[in-house]
Amino acid sequence: MKKIIIAIFVSVLTIGTSIADEGMWLPMLLKNNYAQMQKMGLKLTPDQLYDLNHSSLKDAIVWFNGGCTSEIISEQGLLLTNHHCGYEAIAKHSTTADNILDNGFWAKSFAEEKENPGMWASVLVRMEDVSDKVNQALAGVDTKDIGAKKAEIFKSIEKEAKNDTHYEASVKSFFKDNAYYLFVFEKFTDIRLVAAPPQNIGKFGGDTDNWMWPRHTADFSMFRIYANKDNVPAAYSKDNVPYKPKRFLNISIKGIKEGDFTMVYGFPGRTNRYENSFGIKLATDKVSPAIVALRDVRLTEWKNEMNKSDSVRLLLSSNYARVANYWKYFIGQTEQLKRLKVYEEKLDIEKQFKEWAKNKPEYASILPNFEKAYTDYDKYALHSTYIREGLMGSALITRAMKFMSIEKALSAEKPDPEQIKKAVDALKIEGEEFYKSFNPISEEKILAKITQMYFENIAVDQQPPYMAVLIKKYKGKTNKETFEKFAKAAFVNSVMASKEESLKFLEKPNLKKLRNDPAFAYAKACYTNYIERILPHIEEFAKINNTEGSIYINALLEMQPDKNFYPDANSTIRLTYGSVKGYAPKDGVDFKYYTTLEGVMEKENPKEFEFQVPSKLKELYAKKDFGKYADTNGEMRVGFISNNDITGGNSGSPVINGDGELVGLAFDGNWEAMSGDIYFDSKYKRTISCDIRYVLFLIDKFGGASNLIKEMNIKN
């Protein structure tokens, strides 16, 4: 069965009736889409898109730090990505004395570029279909041993692929274990910050405009890959030199117009387009609203403190931006899934499937099995969410959980001094970074609120026995008062609540003191309760859901042989294609496909941080000093939209025209199609991108970094 589905997948890609804008395609298989892409405006050959033995566009596409995409835009390893992808690095380099987050940063020489420990960028060397190897290894293996055997064969294939080179390799599953591909990367870890606009340009519109069109954000930042003198990845060293890539993207300032062909090449994170009706109902009714409510607690308390001082704002800005992004996303996803009646559409598909499968014993039990699995899982689904978004949303509790390593070392029958030292050293190193952005005032309020929410929304019989002890000890007149008293005691008495007390404890770690620590006791109780009593139910659900999901996708392909199926995103390299296109979101509203700098000035509000405009940008606008980056009407284009299929992870992806030239930088999706990770809506789905001419204008005219302009190959 597994081998058959791979053949079906490849043949399906050749169907000429496919929807051009939907689908995240594996570049190795793009030759099957080529005729359609050519009709839409592609002028490159298939080998220019992806080639194993020669340089191609794929060599300029970079997996950036695990959560974003970037592209190489010069022969000296210059990277372009989103401002929000570089936000954490920019914020870490910012102080009240040298506030590059607010003021911007433009390196005028290699020597000025800033090191970023922990950051990485990977370039794909090759990919390979290894489905046969995996399936042969799994043939006849007992179900309970499949996971371990799969990990074993993956490791074997990856080891063989690396073959004593400096490469990294990874095997990924597609179509829920119906196909497997190997990806080999060259991973670079010396990545230096080169440029970033002030955040009131790079993050213009903030949370208000996030996921919205029309958009006026210059969401870009620039980094550089460094390698050793042999052009091979190496740890940071002053002796390292700019990387010489196999390929970099040329840049076009000719501009784009409605209907123009566009490709987005990148590393989309996760989609779940083959989700069943049970999963959609659970997400919209329970899980997503809980995520929104729990994240709202953090955002509210952080914002209150950020508004009080610039120093606190700089400390918390990176965490705030990270949490806020998907807080708003889950609001929009729930709203759009309901508006588009996706649950009802899935029910209709399943009704058809049930009729089709009734005489096929290998498929007839899939939907009943799904229904039973979700019914059993429903009572535990919120608990998992409250651990991940609630308990782990408290910085103090997250830090306390780290101390379980030293508890284990101290409580051993014969404590090993080496193991204790290892745990202590790790906690000290983690603490150095942790306490830099730890704000006790907001975190105390966060702990009180999420603990109260956990108590009130999780079934009593699922809560740890310690909760009753906590309530008895800190009993107040109301739940709110009870948990405020607990949080206050935790921050007064816990050794994790300050760097100084933490270090003091680690100098002479004591098991009894640790176990009596209020933050540690609560963290361990919740964690142990979850691992022992809740996780087994979740794992059982996941096993059934994955097994049935794999068979279900196989069955759908068999049931609908003429439908255009493509694999869900899984952080592997993909190419999507479509065209520049406006849309009408509702009656009487018609959005054109681009925005201009005039819109920035219209939105300006000096009293609102999100909509402040730097004086220099206003001066350039007043003088219409746009240089060669203006369009034919003399306007400064800012953003544009296309109907390319993207998701999280595509942030920073290049938007490429039919000639293979960079014309924009993808950074967002639109509100009306927030269902995109689960359901692609061909009518409303749009990719929001920054026009490359606006990026270049800001580098050149605003930042004065002519050195960077000269480094790129800009084509008129």
Of 162-166, 274-278, 559-563, 665-669, where does mean pLDDT reach its minimum?
Answer: 559-563
pLDDT at 239: 97
Tokens encoding 421: 């030292």
Q: Could you tell me which of 393, 423, 392, 391 has the C-alpha nearest to residue 407?
A: 423
- Model confidence over 133-156: pLDDT tens digits? 999 999 999 888 888 999 999 999
Cα dihedral value 412, 417, 422, 428, nearest 10: 100
pLDDT at 590: 95
- Model confidence over 156-179: pLDDT tens digits? 999 999 998 999 999 999 999 999
Q: How far apart are CA 156 and CA 127, in angstroms?
A: 16
- Model confidence over 225-276: pLDDT tens digits? 999 999 999 999 999 999 999 999 999 999 999 999 999 999 999 999 999 9
pLDDT at 3: 39
pLDDT at 633: 95
Q: How far apart are CA 332 and CA 115, in angstroms?
A: 36
Q: How far apart are CA 462 and CA 626, in angstroms?
A: 62
pLDDT at 8: 37
Name residues whose C-beta falls within 8 Å of residue 112's C-beta, 6 or more positions apart in sequence: none
Name residues whose C-beta falls within 8 Å of residue 32's C-beta, 6 or more positions apart in sequence: 10, 13, 14
Helix (H) or strand (E) segment spanning residue 348: helix 342-357
Tokens encoding 25: 């395609």
- Model confidence over 674-710: pLDDT tens digits? 999 999 998 999 999 999 999 999 999 999 999 999 9
Residues assigned a catalytic role: 84, 219, 651
Q: How far apart are CA 525 and CA 542, in angstroms?
A: 24
| pLDDT range class, residue 33, cuts 50, 70, 90 | confident
DSSP label of 391: G
Give the number of other CB atoms < 10 A from CB of residue 432: 10
| pLDDT range class, residue 322, cuts 50, 70, 90 | confident
| pLDDT range class, residue 20, cuts 50, 70, 90 | very low
Q: What is the mean pLDDT of the chain?
A: 94
* The pLDDT of residue 1 is above 70: no
Query: Bigger pLDDT: 399 or 566?
Result: 399
pLDDT at 12: 36
Average pLDDT of the residues in 273-294: 96
Q: How far apart are CA 524 and CA 526, in angstroms?
A: 6
Q: Could you tell me which of 588, 582, 574 has the C-alpha nearest to residue 683?
A: 582
CB 179 within 8 A of CB 9: yes
- Model confidence over 77-118: pLDDT tens digits? 999 999 999 999 999 999 999 999 999 999 999 999 999 999
pLDDT at 326: 85
What's the predicted TM-score (pTM) here? 0.90
pLDDT at 111: 97
Question: Rg of the Cα trace of the chain?
Answer: 26
First to last CA, the chain: 52
Longest dimension (CA), the chain: 79
* The pLDDT of residue 4 is above 70: no
DSSP label of 164: T
pLDDT at 234: 98
CB burial class (10 A; 0-12, 13-18, 19+) of residue 622? exposed
- Cα separations (Å) of 52 from 248, 270, 283, 617, 662? 16, 25, 40, 44, 22
pLDDT at 7: 39
Q: How far apart are CA 567 and CA 444, in angstroms?
A: 43
Q: How far apart are CA 278 and CA 179, in angstroms?
A: 25
pLDDT at 705: 98
CB 125 within 8 A of CB 169: no
- Model confidence over 391-408: pLDDT tens digits? 999 999 999 999 999 999
| pLDDT range class, residue 22, cuts 50, 70, 90 | confident
| pLDDT range class, residue 314, cuts 50, 70, 90 | confident
pLDDT at 560: 86
